[in-house]
Structure 1
Amino acid sequence: MCLAAATGANAHDWYENKVDPVTKFKCCGGYDCRPIPQSSVQSRVDGGYVYLPDDFNIPRDRVQESPDDQY
């Protein structure tokens, strides 16, 4: 899963061609990778994250940094 925060009509363009670092499959823009609000993310001690609305753990090896330093 890719974490990103975005604004504007083309703000999601940066992740449309991303590849999952574990599965090596291309992210499906808006499904596998999508912007999420900072208030929905909590950092874990091991470098991963928790997506709070679903209590979904995102391991560090699945995280891809956002070019705007958001989620």
Structure 2
Amino acid sequence: MKIGHHLKRAREKKRLSQQEVAELLGISQKTLSNVESNKSQPSVTQLALLGEIYEMNVLKLLEDNGINLNTIE
């Protein structure tokens, strides 16, 4: 399952419209639609804000989609 699909499900679970979330992110509804349909990817900043809005662990979401952000030790 792609990141956009997870983000859409999380938005719907919170009963928020694309327009409401887009306004919180400072982007257009069309841009959010493109993210949710996997036509484009959210920026790191947008992803962090989405995590806060949806109360979800975005690092886990990325990891589940094969993107690992390991820290350098």
Q: TM-score of the superposition, structure 1-length normalised?
A: 0.31
Per residue, is there more helix in 1 or in 2?
2
Per residue, is there more strand in 1 or in 2?
1
Q: Which has the higher contact order (CA 8 A, sep 6+)?
A: 1
Q: Higher Cα Rg: structure 1 or 2?
A: 2
Q: TM-score of the superposition, structure 2-length normalised?
A: 0.30
